[in-house]
Structure 1
Amino acid sequence: MPWSPEAESQRNNVTTNLIWAKLSKVPKELWTKKGLSFLASLIGGPLCMDGATSMKRRLDFAKVCVTIPLDFEFPSSIKLKIHGKVVFIDMEYPWKPPSCSRCTPAAGQNSQNVATPSFSDPAGSDVLSMINVAVDNRESPSSARTSKTPSHDL
């Protein structure tokens, strides 16, 4: 929204932000609209994916746009269990919004959204029912530690 006195007066009402996330090491079973939307929902509220991702022109990583709360912690990976096999989806954020203690909600609120999206794409729906999820704030799979977010059966 362009700056205006009205926009300035609404600044303290902002509770979310939009970011792009780059997802690497995505298993081929999740390269569907439903699968990528599911992964995006583990970060925040899924909005869209870039053209190369949606048209599957680039398969080494996916780019998704999500809404996040102002106190988002930017996890570096998602741990999934698919058909009994543990996989890690690496996450990068090309741009992280600056943090402001005046605007950010009080600490202690849960900053990670975990939701199951509902989409009409039937491809991959059987895969999603076989996934356990844990969101980790760690740098690599080799530095495994227990996540603050419990695993979820989907």
Structure 2
Amino acid sequence: MADNQGFFFFHIPDPAFRQKIIEDGPLTVARVPLILRQWQPLIDLKKDKQTAVPVWIRLKNLPLDLWSASAIGGIASAVGKPLYVDQRTEEMKMLSFARVCVEIYANQPRCSAVDVVLNGVLCSIAIEFEWKPLECPSCGTFGHRCEDNVAVHSMDKGKLPVLPASDHTPSGHPGLEPLAPIQAPK
């Protein structure tokens, strides 16, 4: 079920399965994360300030020597906190990129590549975000931009807002942790 404020309600009759869904971390639908909370009577439906969000990234041009949990986790830690990889990455079924779910923070700058020294050679690993959430650099949260809110208030005074162009386009396994600088296996 959905309401007109952007909230969705899921009825999951099995209590054990419901608890697993809530506790198992980020759940994504069409590459967009769902922030889940357990319903309670008289729950206050408001959108909490999201300072961290899980997103899927692709590590492109990854040399075969770096296809390990520790190397992929170390590279992904340059973007955010690595959470897990997808099944194809774990099983090395598609070697054109490694797909990693990372937790990013609104006040953290984004990088488009990570440089790694592998056997004395500098390799540049391209970072591609599958989805970038709308983020506010002013207050450090996801889901809005403070200047957009100011523009909406100016509409109340009979002025048309000038909105900034959006720079985002909608387009496992636990255990990966941020690591020290990467050293390739010998």
Using the size of structure 2 for normalisation, the TM-score is 0.52
2:184 paired residue number: 127
1:53 equivalent in alignment to 2:89: yes
Aligned match of 2:63 in 18, 27, 30? 27
- Distance in 2 separating the partners of 1:104 and 1:59: 35
Once the two structures are TM-superposed, the CA of residue 77 in structure 1 deviates from its matched residue by: 0.6
Matches within 5 A, 1:58-73: 58-73=94-109
Q: Structure 1 residues 20, 7: closer, same or farther in 2, change over 3 A?
A: farther
Identity of aligned residues (%): 26
Pick the structure with greater CA Rg: 2
Aligned match of 2:179 in 109, 116, 119? 116
2:54 paired residue number: 18
After superposition, give the CA deviation of every residue in 1:92-131 in whole Å (9 maximum; x if it has no partner).
Answer: 10100011356516xxxxxxxxx417xxxxxxx8627x9x
2:126 paired residue number: 90
Q: Secondary structure at the match of 1:20?
A: strand
- Distance in 2 separating the partners of 1:3 and 1:75: 34
1:37 equivalent in alignment to 2:73: yes
Query: What count of residue pairs does the alignment treat as equivalent?
Result: 111
Aligned-partner residue type, residue 110 of structure 2: F
Using the size of structure 1 for normalisation, the TM-score is 0.62
Aligned match of 1:8 in 39, 46, 59? 46
1:110 paired residue number: none
| Cα RMSD, aligned residues only | 2.7
Aligned match of 2:114 in 56, 69, 78? 78
Unpaired runs of at least 5, structure 2 = 1-35, 142-177
Q: Secondary structure at the match of 1:8?
A: coil
Q: Structure 1 residues 7, 56: closer, same or farther in 2, change over 3 A?
A: farther
Aligned-partner residue type, residue 82 of structure 2: P
Unpaired runs of at least 5, structure 1 = 106-114, 118-124, 131-154
After superposition, give the CA deviation of every residue in 1:29-73 in whole Å (9 maximum; x if it has no partner).
Answer: 110111111111121111011111011000010110001111233
1:141 paired residue number: none
